Amino acid sequence: MSSESEVRDLLTRALDADEAGQKELAIDLYGQAVESVLRIENREKRDKLNKFAKQALERAEVLKGIKYVPPKDLKVVPQQPVQSSAVPGRSPVHSPRLEVSGARSGYTNEEKKVLEYTSHINSKVYVPFMDIDLHEKFIFSIPYTDRDGPLELAPKQKRDFVQWIRVSELSENPQLIAGDHADFYSIRQTVVSDCSFVASLAVASLYEKKFKRRILTSIIYPRNSRDEPIYNPCGKYSIRMHVNGIPRKVVIDDYLPLGKYNQLLCSYSSNKNEFWVSLMEKAYMKLMGGYDFPGSNSNIDLHALTGWIPERASIRTKDPDFNADAVFNRLREGLSAGRCLVTVATGELSDAEAERTGLVSTHAYAVLDMQEIDGVMLLQLKNPWSHLRWRGNYSELDAVHWTPELQQQLNYDPKLAANYDNGVFWIDYNSILNFFDVFYLNWDPALFQYTYCIHQSWNAGVGPTKDAYNVGDNPQFSLTVPAGKGSVWILLTRHITSIEDFRENREYITVLVYKNNGKRVYYPCKFRLSNSR
């Protein structure tokens, strides 16, 4: 938590450096002053210092020779308001705004308050990632140390922890990425319970290799003249992550947890000179409050990493409306065309089932490929542990189903695969339906030509508990979609400011859809078409 005296001290030092012609130092101090203002919890004091923060930011931009322009993700213009059915004394129907590339407009005062309030995550401040951050200082006279201190370790890490160690002490030739792309095969999860995050790294890095488009490594800074992320000998990195409504800046140093057997106690690359996996995980764990992470799912993780739009596809074999073939075909087409990223997760498995199948209970797997050959639906998965594979049909142990023709078409030799367990395996779709619970998809936002975005707050305590018998106090919107004009997707993201809230899932938000001629709805069961959590 910052104080007014700290802010004024930073501003004084920044001005002194500015007058002395020490441009780099001045820019850094101006930036620290801005962040210190945002860390002040007392709103009255923070508002008092806001004008100084604005002046500091403007002066830093002048010193860097740039003019601030809101990032593309934040560019919005007012659009025609939706039809209002507001009632005096009740929550109004708000007007969403259409995001248009190249447009210039600001947020409403309510949106600014929401985005500023939810910058405070797990007692730290994560400011919006802006154009000025593209010119951030990464070179220092001494190695950079994160002023937020070391991350909280998970119990399994604490058991073997010896020390925090810098990347430069782990390798004589450290690199952020070895080779011309991030290699999904090299990713290995260890004792941190973040299998969905590691699976997300795998599918996103595979996408980069396959489609030659940076959707993951584009968020890491510093970068070289070819716009590639690079190792920083000074130990400072900035990661741009989509969280609480907008892209935000997560700054880390390169200290990593080391165990008593000289092993990294975090996810890592099997290439001992490559550190992008460990550093990206550290940034996400910092955002989430530390390595003592309760776990997540790939919808959340991939949205934070890439901004791609999440969708959850439950595997409901007992539901008469569940069309397994349609689900497979939709996922396969989206995956092969590069329109979506896919992971899949198991449900609860007994110890006997886990031993027999080789699958891990409630565990996320990266989906690398989907194929249908001669009527057989197959998926290629990767266990984030980089070991322990499926033992059933179409595994490397299967001596019945692997015909020479199928091996040739998939370029796969089960006998060769059996010699080395890297966690990658083929599995038939029927086995997926039997042992897995859900597919997590994230869709390329470029597919959505027109989007509306609203940031607002709503007191969940207003109105009846859990909307049991009245939704009249809930925020409501009227939407008209002409017949045959396409589908409408709605994405709700509840801003999380505490890991305990994330861990316990205390609250959730949902959409209730009604057909009521654009009029406000009061009774939750009447006129309802559907709902989505």
Cis peptide before 222 (omega within 30 of 0): yes
The residues near 478 (Cβ < 8 Å, ≥ 6 apart) are 82, 83, 84, 85, 93, 518
Q: Given the residues 94, 242, 303, 363, select the one marked as catalytic.
A: 363
Task: Select which of 383, 442, 455, 474 is catalytic.
Answer: 383
DSSP alpha helices (H): ranges in 361-498? 404-410, 414-417, 429-435
Confirm whether 363 is a catalytic residue.
Answer: yes
Report DSSP state, residue 475: -
* 468: DSSP letter: S
Closest CA to 198 of 272, 273, 285: 285
Please state whether the peptide bond connecting residue 310 to the residue before it is cis, i.e. omega within 30 degrees of 0. Answer: no
Write the single-letter amino acid at 184: F
Q: How far apart are CA 433 and CA 151, in angstroms?
A: 39
Residue 23, Cα to own-chain centre: how many angstroms? 34
Residue of 416, 342, 411, 409 whose CA lies nearest to 382: 342
Are 381 and 367 in contact by the 8 Å Cβ rule? The answer is yes
CA 466 to CA 475: how far, in whole Å? 14
- Candidate list 195, 297, 455, 474, residue with the active-site label: 195
Per the CB < 8 A criterion, the answer to whether 294 and 502 are in contact is yes
Active site positions, annotated: 195, 363, 383
